[in-house]
Structure 1
Amino acid sequence: MTAPARPRSFRLGVFGLLLGMFLAMLDGLIVGTALPTIIGDLGGLDHLSWVVTAYMLAGAATTPVWGKLGDLYGRKATFVTAITIFLAGSMLAGLARDMPQLIAFRAVQGLGAGGLMVGAIAIIGVLVPPRDSGRLQSMIGAIMPVAYVGGPLLGGLLTDRLSWRWTFYANVPVGALALLLIATRIHLPPVERVKAPIDYAGAALLTVAVLALTLVAGWGGTAHPWTSPQVLVAAAVGVLALAALVPVERRAAEPIIPPRLFGDRDFTLAQILSFLAGAVMLSAVNYLPQYMQYVRQASPAASGMLLLPLMFGMLGAQTLTGHLISRNGRYRMYPILGGALMTAGTLVLLLLDTDTGTATASALTALAGIGIGLVMQSTLLLTINSADPRDMGAATATVTLLRTTGGSLGIALLGALYAARMHAGLTDRLGPAQADRLSAVTPAMLDDLSASAREAVRSAVTSGLHGILLGAAALSALAFGVTWLIRATPLRTDPSPTRPKRQAHTSDPGPSSPTGADEA
């Protein structure tokens, strides 16, 4: 069975949703290449990391809240509000006159960005049944590798040709187009309005947990040692907040993350896979460029380009499987195949050595990209198929949050392994004093080192990368094992609920409602 042809207005509306998602992904990456110029203009080198951290923290903490607000008060209106806040933060960030202002306005951007990804996926999840949504889900998946490649390149281009401020101003015309298309082309069915108080306690606990764990991931092994009071306190706060969240959510009338979602085995498995795939993907994307720059002596821009096989592997896998699933409705084989290829792909990358050719090193990343793409496509499909439309916002917020959290913690934990192996390699070859000095060496400084020191750094970086890859392979193997537990549940062929509905007050605001007609 193939998906019916959609009218042009529907396709334009979906394009608007995709633009909104693209803004959130792109802005997390586009600023990186502009940071040195920003520091030169505004100063505040000691606060540099918070330009990125403020955005990520605000986005991660508000993602579940946006999802639930969409379920309760209308997804279209909530999504439009998120875009508006994001654009306001973008304009303000472009106008910032000092570093504290920029950090504050980046946090405003993050508040809006938290609702962009989850809002778009939730709207698509209720507009299109899972059986017919494969192509749209593959388009969503394709945005990520495009953003990862295009973000740094676009940021560098805008900074070089115009000003670093245009890395923020450029969001405004794109966001305005997204708002126009969504307002005029997205029409949602009537909403099942639920009379229930907002789960303030659950939202507060979840926000504290996300913030604390994100700080652990960001601080551990870099800003502070893993055993430092700062990291230990943040970890304890995160764990305690999560422990307190469970009973609070069980008692809440409309919990931020409804426990009933985890009553479906496939939904729970999808969240585990999202966490694991996020850790593998972001670890590879962040540490493979280190190898390209230190060992293959590629420039920062070129090291990003050398990851194109990985990115296009993800894109191709998600696009192809989306079409195949829409055609025959069969999907269980894809996460299993993805888990196998993700494991094999990370192990294949262990072939990278100090004398591996640049073209070969780049090509070896493709297999892991294909596996990651298959797994990530499957997590979205399983989440949407397992959740009732009334909970679509909360469900998509959960899968998005877990992918982000998995990526953050994966980078932190595997990054600690990378640093330990790199330092050990330098110590073995050059001694402790030299190891301490060279652990902070940058790629640009390599030419100033002696031949023996340069070779020691290249070998140590390769050893550190192998530690990352072994950890990623273990996570991939765990994901592969989890995929075998997925059931071949038939995909829904209509977006209406298949499970019994709770009692609720239902209203039909009609197409002229200020919030836009929406579904539960």
Structure 2
Amino acid sequence: MSTPTRAQQDDGAAAPFVLTRRRINLIFTALVAGMLMSSLDQTIVSTAMPTIVGDLGGVSHMAWVTTAYLLASTLVMPVYGKFGDLFGRKNLFLFAIALFTASSVVAALSPTFEVFVASRFVQGLGGGGLMILAQAIIADVVPARERGKYMGPMGAIFGLSAVAGPLVGGYFTDHAAFGWQWCFWINVPVGLLALALGVFALELPKKRNSAKLDVAGVVLLSAATTSLVFFADEGGSRGWTDGLTLAWLAALLVSAVGFVLVERRATEPIMPLSLFRTRMFVLPTALGLVIGLGMFSAIGFMPTFLQMASGTSAADSGLLMLPIMGGLMLTAIGSGIAITRTGRYKAYPVAGTALVGLTMLWMTTLTGGTSLVTIEVMLFLLGAGLGLVMQVVVLVAQNAVPPSQLGAATATNNYFREVGATLGVAVFGTVFTSRLATGLTEALTANGPQAAAAGITSPDTLVPAAVQAAGEPLRGAIVSAYADALAPVFGYLLPFFVIGLVLAVLFRTVPLSDVAGMVARGEAVYEDGTATRGEAGATPLGAGAAASAARAADDALPGQRHERAEEPAPRT
């Protein structure tokens, strides 16, 4: 083991430790367990929600179940990212797992709706940290040149959870032996396993840092994020010109301006503005925002349409979303492996954004008569396109910043994706629901006697089973109303994917770093004689070389570290 470098002694960091392939794989296993728990919980309540709010008496405030989690997880992303850079990530990751697991127990035991919503908020505080820290820790232990094959499976976890969550939640809810509480009890053994793996496998150096915390930045960013979420929520329900909606917009603008002013003077800003002077950070972050806006809008509205078109239950309709998961997992993992082998990444976000845009264009042709086979093909292509983009934008953003800012860069990139998702679901959800209400009213009016006989008295009384039992022509009219409301939404999303395609084309093909974040910062060294950065034969870095790499990276201006050549860096 090498002795600590002078830089490490000055900043109080622990002595370097050896990064072996076995250690990296153990760390990756712990991270996957934490990410799976967090991402699954975002979707598992979707099919159980009607039962949950009915049991707890919160039907009229159902939106709070989703809003509480979304708000909390988005709030803490930048905090976890920056604090991880300053104080180390292991203890923060363990804290996030423990918080998430404990709040799951409270959610399962909730006696009232208010307690349940509070537990969901606390879950979000833990879940947001799990997502950010997992991606930042991988950047700490795996060089960008090799990171694709790790981040591909991480991206696939999102696709898996998007489908598995509703299926598992529906199964627990529909079976009396379990009940909706098991949507949260299931987190306990998974959380304890993740905690044990984290304690014993997540070997990361501890840091001591006396930097002044950016308290004002945290407060103002939290205010801006809260205002954004409520602006989108109120705008979607009350209307975009409603007084309360405009008040939240004003609060958003004021807090955002205040945040920028504070960050310009902060010693350790929670979201360093210097990141936004780096072209290859700004472009993937902006593309992530666009992808978040389009992806969550499309995926969020499709299950409802599929339930009506197929007549299946909420839980069973989740099976019809499997093609998205299959396409996303295939391309996310495949592109990650390809990037590791070639060092090239630009083609994937370009191809992925184009594929998603073309699929959206095809989905504008959706009608009540479109076959399920055709819809499944659409969903597969949509997932395949998303898999080519989602994790690549994180990888490129991480590669563009100094090793000392990996956490802040990862958090900022994810933060703006969540901002896009929040706005997309709210804005385009308003378009969808307003058109749907009009279409359903016309369908029920045109088929009044048949609707009355089927017990469908208003759009609010529609359930898939009743629609199927009603028979034709009422069933066809209702399905067409859903299709006619949904198809234009995909059309409205197209301009954003055109913008996303332009952003992807503007990516600069720069070499991916051959040095893991901790090695570049002088906190770790590679095991002598092992290939920890790719194929066998890679030459290990000593502590001195690592410290030199760290100083060179930190001294370089943002965006200049890897923008010297247009071809992949040679394997040293």
Counterpart of 2:306 in structure 1 is: 292
Counterpart of 1:13 in structure 2 is: 27
Match of 1:282 among 296, 300, 316: 296
Question: 1:19 is paired with a residue of what secondary structure?
Answer: helix
- Could you report, residue by residue, the CA deviation over 1:78-99 in whole angstroms, capped at 9, with x for unpaired residues? 1111111111111122222111
Deviation at 1:61, TM superposition (A): 1.0
Question: 2:111 is paired with a residue of what secondary structure?
Answer: coil
Counterpart of 1:24 in structure 2 is: 38
- Residues in 1 aligned to 2:198 and 2:337: alpha-carbon distance in whole angstroms: 24
Question: 1:254 is paired with a residue of what secondary structure?
Answer: coil
Counterpart of 2:483 in structure 1 is: 462
- Structure number with greater Rg is 2
119-128 or 168-177, which deviates more: 168-177
Does the CA contact (< 8 Å) of 2:105 and 2:185 recur in 1? yes
Question: 2:125 is paired with a residue of what secondary structure?
Answer: helix
Deviation at 1:501, TM superposition (A): 4.4
Question: 2:310 is paired with a residue of what secondary structure?
Answer: coil
Counterpart of 2:214 in structure 1 is: 199
Does the CA contact (< 8 Å) of 1:249 and 1:256 recur in 2? yes
Match of 1:366 among 365, 372, 380: 380
Deviation at 1:163, TM superposition (A): 2.7
Deviation at 1:194, TM superposition (A): 4.4
Counterpart of 2:133 in structure 1 is: 119
Counterpart of 2:203 in structure 1 is: 187
Counterpart of 1:176 in structure 2 is: 192
Deviation at 1:120, TM superposition (A): 0.7
Counterpart of 2:524 in structure 1 is: none
Deviation at 1:486, TM superposition (A): 0.6
Match of 2:235 among 216, 220, 240: 220
- Residues in 2 aligned to 1:88 and 1:251: alpha-carbon distance in whole angstroms: 37
Structure 2 residue 511 is matched with structure 1 residue 490: yes
292-301 or 104-113, which deviates more: 292-301
Does the CA contact (< 8 Å) of 2:93 and 2:130 recur in 1? yes
Counterpart of 1:104 in structure 2 is: 118
Letter in 1 for 2:403: P
Question: 1:87 is paired with a residue of what secondary structure?
Answer: helix
Question: 1:356 is paired with a residue of what secondary structure?
Answer: coil
Does the CA contact (< 8 Å) of 1:334 and 1:375 recur in 2? yes
365-374 or 486-495, which deviates more: 365-374
Structure 2 residue 85 is matched with structure 1 residue 60: no
Does the CA contact (< 8 Å) of 1:47 and 1:99 recur in 2? no
Structure 2 residue 198 is matched with structure 1 residue 166: no
Counterpart of 2:568 in structure 1 is: none
- Could you report, residue by residue, the CA deviation over 1:333-360 in whole angstroms, capped at 9, with x for unpaired residues? 1111111111111112223221111122
Unaligned runs of 5+ in 1: 503-520
392-401 or 9-18, which deviates more: 9-18
Deviation at 1:300, TM superposition (A): 1.7
Deviation at 1:320, TM superposition (A): 0.3
Does the CA contact (< 8 Å) of 1:421 and 1:467 recur in 2? no
Deviation at 1:49, TM superposition (A): 2.5
Structure 2 residue 147 is matched with structure 1 residue 133: yes
Distance 1:471 1:197, change over 3 A: same
- Residues in 2 aligned to 1:244 and 1:25: alpha-carbon distance in whole angstroms: 32
- Could you report, residue by residue, the CA deviation over 1:19-71 in whole angstroms, capped at 9, with x for unpaired residues? 11111111111122222332343323233322222122111111111111111
Q: Which residues in structure 2 correspond to 1:358-507 (within 5 Å)?
A: 358-425=372-439, 438-444=458-464, 445-447=466-468, 451-495=472-516, 496=520, 497=550, 499-501=553-555
Letter in 2 for 1:463: D
415-424 or 376-385, which deviates more: 415-424
Distance 1:350 1:440, change over 3 A: same
- Residues in 2 aligned to 1:265 and 1:348: alpha-carbon distance in whole angstroms: 32
- Residues in 2 aligned to 1:297 and 1:166: alpha-carbon distance in whole angstroms: 26
Distance 1:263 1:472, change over 3 A: same
Question: 2:553 is paired with a residue of what secondary structure?
Answer: coil
Question: 2:218 is paired with a residue of what secondary structure?
Answer: helix
Question: 1:353 is paired with a residue of what secondary structure?
Answer: coil
Structure 2 residue 251 is matched with structure 1 residue 244: no
- Residues in 2 aligned to 1:357 and 1:83: alpha-carbon distance in whole angstroms: 43
- Could you report, residue by residue, the CA deviation over 1:390-414 in whole angstroms, capped at 9, with x for unpaired residues? 1111111111111112111111111
Does the CA contact (< 8 Å) of 2:403 and 2:554 recur in 1? no
- Residues in 2 aligned to 1:459 and 1:331: alpha-carbon distance in whole angstroms: 41
- Residues in 2 aligned to 1:395 and 1:83: alpha-carbon distance in whole angstroms: 22
- Residues in 1 aligned to 2:112 and 2:463: alpha-carbon distance in whole angstroms: 29
- Residues in 2 aligned to 1:314 and 1:375: alpha-carbon distance in whole angstroms: 10
- Residues in 2 aligned to 1:442 and 1:472: alpha-carbon distance in whole angstroms: 27
Deviation at 1:432, TM superposition (A): 11
Does the CA contact (< 8 Å) of 2:365 and 2:487 recur in 1? no
Does the CA contact (< 8 Å) of 2:433 and 2:485 recur in 1? yes
Does the CA contact (< 8 Å) of 1:339 and 1:476 recur in 2? yes
Distance 1:83 1:426, change over 3 A: closer
Question: 1:197 is paired with a residue of what secondary structure?
Answer: coil
Tell me the number of residue pairs that the alignment of Structure 1 and Structure 2 aligns: 496
Structure 2 residue 223 is matched with structure 1 residue 208: yes
- Could you report, residue by residue, the CA deviation over 1:417-468 in whole angstroms, capped at 9, with x for unpaired residues? 213333454577777999xx75535233435768455433322211111111
RMSD: 2.4
Q: Which residues in structure 2 correspond to 1:327-342 (within 5 Å)?
A: 327-342=341-356
Structure 2 residue 365 is matched with structure 1 residue 351: yes
Question: 1:295 is paired with a residue of what secondary structure?
Answer: helix
Distance 1:180 1:229, change over 3 A: same
Letter in 1 for 2:186: A
Question: 2:131 is paired with a residue of what secondary structure?
Answer: helix
Question: 1:220 is paired with a residue of what secondary structure?
Answer: helix
Q: Given the two structures, how large is their TM-score scaled by the length of structure 2?
A: 0.82
Question: 1:117 is paired with a residue of what secondary structure?
Answer: helix
Counterpart of 2:331 in structure 1 is: 317
Letter in 2 for 1:209: A
Does the CA contact (< 8 Å) of 2:364 and 2:487 recur in 1? yes
Unaligned runs of 5+ in 2: 1-18, 449-456, 521-549, 557-572
- Residues in 2 aligned to 1:284 and 1:43: alpha-carbon distance in whole angstroms: 30
Does the CA contact (< 8 Å) of 1:309 and 1:362 recur in 2? yes
Does the CA contact (< 8 Å) of 1:206 and 1:242 recur in 2? yes
Match of 1:79 among 93, 97, 106: 93
